[in-house]
Structure 1
Amino acid sequence: MTQKTENTQSGYWFSKIPSKNWSEKFFLYWSLVWITVFSLIVATEAYKVFYDVEFFILGLFVSLPCVVIPYFFPCAADKDKPLWDRYWVKANVWIALFGFVGNYFWTHYFFVLLGATYKFPVDFRLNEVPVFLYFVTHAYFISYHSATTPILRRYWTAFGGKKSTLKTIGSVVIVFAMAYFTAFMEAWTMEKVPYYSIQDRERMYTIGSAFYMIYFIISFPMYARIDETGPQKNEKWSLSRTAIDSLASAMIVFCLCDFWRLIIGSIINPTNSIPFLGTHGIKA
């Protein structure tokens, strides 16, 4: 039995594509670093003396290494490749576009439908969202997707590449479970930071997490496909395909969020569906 057959039958966690394998592990290692720093800042309440410059530096600290470190210290598989062929570049492009759409547009659903607003002492904002949060979101999303992709891969490859109804159902269950867990934990861990104003924390943690998980039930399986799906197995994606895939994923999420607005409405005033009017009545 060949090694390829064994890997296919037994399942594996990390990609067999060297560039992607290295990048996934690097993103996870860096996640341990920035999450530790973040936790210390929250635990010591150092953030209370932060303003525009300090928050912006924090945003750069957690996100820029995802680009700078692999650029200056590329793995062996990337050294002879042009930048646009390197997996870490495509991963950052995918997450950057998805995260930008999320911050710029979807955050207003949180304002209006979930009663959650930002009260950071900063003036540097873009569409009412503090600019440093765009960078922080990049670090969060890189970490989330780098952690969930190996889990999905391990499940998918455990079936030896075979398709079945059971496999599909299992995939749906795993994606939904990871998406809800991710959404809930982010909401819960931010409880200690007073700059997140939440009108009804219980509803935010339970029902609001169900809204937030919409992001991830789409993004987790879509992101995992980079460089591993196409007419030929393990076909390398172009940057344009990566960008289009990210924006397509974002559009699907956008539609689902708006369906929530039309069907369920606000969790703060659940008897009435509050129209999505951008900054309607919201001042962070």
Structure 2
Amino acid sequence: IALLINVRYGIHTGDAFSTGLYETVKLAIKSNFHNNKMFLTGWFLFAYIFVSILSVIIIKSIKRVVVSNALLLSVLVAISVLLITVSITYLSPQYILVKDYKLNFICQVLTGMSFYIFGYVIRNQIYSLLNFYVFILLTVILYVSKSYGFSTQTIMSWSYYPDGLIMSVINALIGIYAVFFISLLITRGIKEIKLLKMIGQNSRTIMAYHLLVYVILDIIASILGDYSLSGTDVYDNHFITKWSIPVYIALGLLLPLIFSILKQKVIGKMKLSGVLQSIKS
């Protein structure tokens, strides 16, 4: 799709392919999936595979050894702290220095595992911790720390943590708290709207394909004569007007969501068909 868009419409989509399948996969991993601008979030999805598998292995392994629940949670918190300390304090500066893609990937995975395991630890308490006044206080703290330069931009995809371990973790936890609190308010206020739940359940698909939707909308705008595709870039350039922004946001959410739902239905029917055939045989 990226190659077709580049050849047909001249939109710069990066270099998605190499000389063969192995070299193409190797190029994507070495480039942190940024060689294909249609799939910039590929780094997250790739790292998440390892994060989820390794985290589950660690949690299950420790549960087999540690009987006490309090001790189990303490050990998991210690592992979470150790992982993110190694990642941000040691691996991140080393990657910035030598630019070795393997270090970047390991840093991504260790950071992700740290939050995954910590999330498992507090999974039963997170909603009881949500409070309006705490939310306001944390928002003020984040605003003040950003105003005074204590909080700057963290870029997990490139293992860039300029604020150091403590502030990077605090900023991330404040962001996580805010997302949970706002999500809770929304679900309490509009319980009947299933769309929000569906968007949350399919967030990875939306993240993966929203840029493709934007490019398709750019192409439609160019066909209508409202936009020139000459010299444009998949990531940096899009058709921006007062009315196009809400359209891009809405369709960037809804079209990947529809695709995901249709895919799930097709897979479900295929599985059902396979079961019926096995019963008949």
Same fold (TM over 0.5): no
Which one has more relative contact order, counting CA pairs under 8 Å at least 6 apart? Answer: 1
Rg (Cα) greater in structure: 2
Between Structure 1 and Structure 2, the one with more helix by share is 2
TM-score between the two structures when normalised by the length of structure 1: 0.31
TM-score between the two structures when normalised by the length of structure 2: 0.31
